[in-house]
Amino acid sequence: MQPDTDHPISVRDVHYQADGRQLVGRLAVPPGDGPFAGVLIAHEGPGLDDVMRDRTRQLAELGYCAFALDYHGDVLPFADREAMMARLTSLIADSDRTRELANAALAVLLSEAPVDPDRVAIIGYCFGGTVALELGRSGADVKAVVGFHPGLHNLRPLDSKHITGKVLMCVGDADPITDVAQRHAFEAEMGATGVDWQLHLYGGVEHSFTHPFADFAGLPGIKFDATAASRSWESMLQLLRETIG
């Protein structure tokens, strides 16, 4: 699937509402009339930044209509880590709110762009991986659910039986946030549902391994890894080709 290179990709911000917040996402649409396969992108915990916004263009260059959703509502990422963690903790404790945010973004993608509703996937980074899984657990018609260094905690594991798409989670084995206990619980959860799932484990790789500026956080256990980032991206693209074309 390749776009018409003689015409530019359309990129714009979309304002929408969910969870009582004003949200701003980034939409990239390939040239042409469509309909296109669509990909939702859920950002890392600190917020929607330029790295995540640029992912929409990367995917549009491959012929996908991509929407980077916003689950915080602030235009700039959190500067205060405590405030960020308080926000994430509140969402972790309330799956319905997280699903509301994810489904609101799905509605935006389907209404704002020429997307084939039968060919939609979601990818997520860090807590965005949790957002992706919760969209699947809500029963939404998404053909692929992909997480990069995702949060795998789940208060309602039985809800995973509602996932209709194929699941791929990409995790570093040295990730202190998505640790061995979370991985084992996730494996048991998926195994009990009959979902088509994969867990890719990258040796010696830490959390946020896909983010090129992860090291700037200066936090233990958070580190960019170019090789794992490239390998996981290719694994994602393979699943997208398999599920949405």
Backbone dihedral region for residue 185 (phi beyond 0: left; psi -120 to 50: alpha; all else: beta): alpha
Q: What pLDDT sits at residue 127?
A: 96
Predicted confidence (pLDDT) per residue in 76-115, tens digit: 777 788 888 899 999 999 999 999 999 999 999 999 999 9
Q: What pLDDT sits at residue 9?
A: 96
Predicted confidence (pLDDT) per residue in 40-73, tens digit: 999 999 999 999 999 999 999 999 999 999 999 9
7 pLDDT band, cuts 50/70/90, is low
Predicted confidence (pLDDT) per residue in 154-182, tens digit: 999 999 999 999 999 999 999 999 999 99
Q: What percent of the chain has pLDDT over 70?
A: 97
Distances (CA, A) of 130 to 65, 110, 149: 22, 21, 10
CATH number of the 10-243 domain: 3.40.50.1820
Predicted confidence (pLDDT) per residue in 214-224, tens digit: 998 888 999 99
Greater pLDDT, 74 or 27: 27
Q: Is the pLDDT of residue 3 over 50?
A: no
Query: What is the arithmetic mean of pLDDT over 135-164?
Result: 96
Predicted structure pTM score: 0.94
Q: Is the pLDDT of residue 2 over 60?
A: no
Structure tokens at 24: 């701003």
Q: What percent of the chain has pLDDT over 90?
A: 89
